[in-house]
Amino acid sequence: MSFYIVSTPIGNLDDLTVRAEKVLRESSIILCEKKERALKLVSHLGLKNLRLISYHDDKVDSILQKVLENNKAGKNISLISDAGTPLISDPGNSLIKKLIHEGIEPIAIPGPTSIIPALLLSAFDISKFIYLGFMSKSKAKIQTELELYLDTNLPVIILTSMNDIKKIVDILSNKNEIFNLSISKELTKKNEKTFRFQSNQFDKAKLKDFISKGEFVTIIQKLNTSKNSQINHKKIKKRILELKKLNYSKNDIVKIIVKNESIKKNLAYNLVIKYWE
């Protein structure tokens, strides 16, 4: 018997890996968050003769016993979340710790997650980043956490609702510092979109329309204000458009802006993306 932690699609069912499908087909039991969500995947794959068990951390001891019983019976068990990679902002950590304590080594099946696609689409330097997951609903607590992590100058990833975004933008708009934001919604789905802007300069109507519906991943990065204060946005925009007309690539324009304006590469890249028309 093996216990698998299986990543499943966050929207597009075609993103299920061949290995993940094979593991699910060979599982006798699938532990899931909501059975109705899991049934959609099970039906899509045409899986039969398996048992769905709804898992939450407050049921960990009773489910652990079921897992141990099925382990003795030689059955495979898989743990999935409603969507994406289990355990990341989803229940399951308590069970994994107890299984390891019992001598059962889980096997992780990698796959879909909303975090990495959102990072790729942000246009930020993502060689290092911080993941905060879901934040408190308290605006005061959100502000405290943002102040703690954004001062690292690393991209900070947050799973957000429409109301969370409103609070975050309001907090950042009232600060002296300037922040880059990238909000991705409906990732891997038909209406996937990304909205990028700066905290001191954005179209409120467009943002309101963008966040009116969907599931969001928000990424924020604090700009180097000492450098930013010296930037002539009008001049840089003009230069970017001139170089574009001369058929320079985005990467080449970034290099030119970095050299001529003495600003950081990630800021130059964000400006090229912003003013590319």
Domain boundaries, the chain: 3-109, 115-223, 228-275
**Helix, strand, coil percentages for the chain (3-state, nearest 5):** 45, 20, 35
Contacts of 209 (CB under 8 A, 6+ apart): none
Question: pLDDT at position 61, please?
Answer: 94
Q: Determine the CATH number of domain 3-109.
A: 3.40.1010.10
pLDDT in tens, the chain (277 residues): 899 999 999 999 999 999 999 999 999 999 999 999 999 999 999 998 899 999 999 999 999 999 999 988 999 999 999 999 999 999 999 999 999 999 999 999 999 999 999 999 999 999 999 999 999 999 999 999 998 999 888 999 999 999 999 999 999 988 878 999 999 999 999 889 999 999 988 899 999 999 998 889 999 999 865 445 557 788 888 989 999 989 999 999 999 988 887 777 878 888 898 888 6
Round to whole Å and give the CA distance between 274 and 277: 8
CATH node for 115-223: 3.30.950.10
For residue 269, the one-letter residue type is Y
Q: Which residues contact 5 (CB under 8 A, 6 or more apart)?
A: 78, 79, 86, 87, 92, 96, 106, 107, 108, 109
pLDDT score, position 225:
55
Q: What is the DSSP letter of 262?
A: T
Prediction pTM value: 0.78
Q: Which pLDDT score is estimated for 259?
A: 82
Beta bridge partners of 217: 159, 184
Contact yes or no for 89/76 (Cβ under 8 A)? no
pLDDT of residue 131: 97
Predicted pLDDT at 87: 95
User: What is the rounded distance in angstroms from the CA atom of residue 51 to the CA atom of residue 46?
Assistant: 14
Give burial (CB, 10 Å; 0-12/13-18/19+) of 254. Answer: buried
- The answer to whether 144 touches 113, Cβ cutoff 8 Å, is no
